[in-house]
């Protein structure tokens, strides 16, 4: 039986591209929502889930930090995917025929320069791959889609213009989630550790909790806060650090964190993507 990796979106979405890039030997399983992708793994319908967590242009993906700690899944890998935006249209269409471009609102905002130059108006679609599918079904050369080349391949559309995004470094970071954690050291490069925590209700608790990482020389690459339980008083922190929990300096830092925290939950240990370096 072929192993499967679940993702949110229609076939041809950038999450689908991430699946192909990071796990080319696995069958990609499209799901309607992030929750559905997580549930597919929990039920055994898929072996892994590919979830986007942040974009270099637009920041973190909404709601994902709430879902990760409650998912029951574990991070076993990360993947950085370059988001190349392409103008896709029905076969035989010429660029000058296109009057409107449809895509997710976030993508529309990432190629304003190209669209303005060619006098193309924007149309908001539910998502990128769904917009490509809609353009293929409508068959109107005046309407194009902004999506991945993979979407064009799947829905039989021509690529009228490649890589039209305003920023050449636009990248999305994905996390690969599994039912079971993998604490082993994999690959030749450095390891990453991700966790969430809540500090104790004492003065300067966060400052003190973070002190252990500084004094032990542990590099923290991400620290974000978000409210939980619908209250302003309950704040949870999400953190990524370089290193493995078995490393002496990481172990000491985590012990200090636990002392000043009311709860600490390890979400995963995984190899750092080569693009970090």
| Catalytic residue list | 172, 174
CA dist 47 and 6 (Å) reads: 8
Give the strand pairing for 171-178 and 74-82. antiparallel
The answer to whether 170 and 126 are in contact (CB under 8 A) is no
Give the strand pairing for 171-178 and 235-242. unpaired
CA dist 16 and 6 (Å) reads: 9
Any idea which residue has 């990360």 for tokens?
78
Exposure string for 200-218, b = 16+ CB within 10 A, e = fewer: eeeeeebebbbebbeebeb
Two structure tokens written together for 26: 């696995």
**DSSP three-state, residue 243:** coil
| Positive or negative torsion for Cα 29, 34, 37, 40 | negative
Two structure tokens written together for 206: 């966060």
E-assigned strands of the chain?
A: 4-8, 27-31, 48-55, 59-60, 74-82, 86-89, 100-103, 121-124, 143-147, 158-161, 171-178, 191-199, 220-227, 235-242, 261-271
């Amino acid at each position: 039986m072929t192993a499967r990796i679940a993702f949110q979106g229609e076939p041809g979405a950038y999450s689908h591209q991430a699946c192909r890039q990071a796990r080319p030997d696995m069958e990609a399983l499209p799901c309607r929502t992030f929750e559905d992708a997580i549930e597919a793994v929990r039920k055994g319908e898929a072996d892994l889930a590919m979830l986007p967590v942040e974009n270099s242009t637009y920041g973190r993906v909404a709601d994902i930090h709430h879902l990760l700690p409650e998912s029951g899944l574990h991070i076993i890998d990360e993947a950085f995917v370059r988001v190349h935006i392409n103008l896709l249209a029905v076969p035989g269409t010429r660029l000058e025929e296109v009057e409107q471009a449809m895509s997710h609102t976030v993508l529309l905002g990432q190629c304003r320069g190209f669209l303005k130059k060619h006098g193309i108006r924007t149309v908001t679609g539910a998502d990128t791959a769904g917009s490509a599918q809609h353009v293929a079904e409508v068959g109107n050369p005046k309407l194009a889609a902004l999506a991945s080349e993979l979407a064009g391949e799947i829905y039989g559309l021509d690529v009228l213009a490649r890589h039209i995004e305003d920023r050449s470094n636009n990248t999305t970071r994905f996390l690969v989630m599994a039912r079971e954690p993998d604490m082993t050291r994999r690959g030749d490069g450095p390891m990453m550790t991700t966790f969430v925590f809540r500090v104790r209700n004492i003065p300067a608790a966060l400052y003190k909790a973070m002190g252990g990482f500084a004094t032990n020389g542990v590099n923290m690459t991400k620290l974000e806060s978000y409210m939980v339980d619908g209250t302003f008083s309950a704040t949870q922190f999400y953190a990524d650090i370089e290193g493995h929990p078995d490393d002496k300096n990481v172990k000491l830092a985590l012990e200090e964190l636990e002392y000043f925290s009311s709860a600490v939950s390890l979400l995963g240990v995984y190899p750092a993507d080569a693009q970090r370096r």
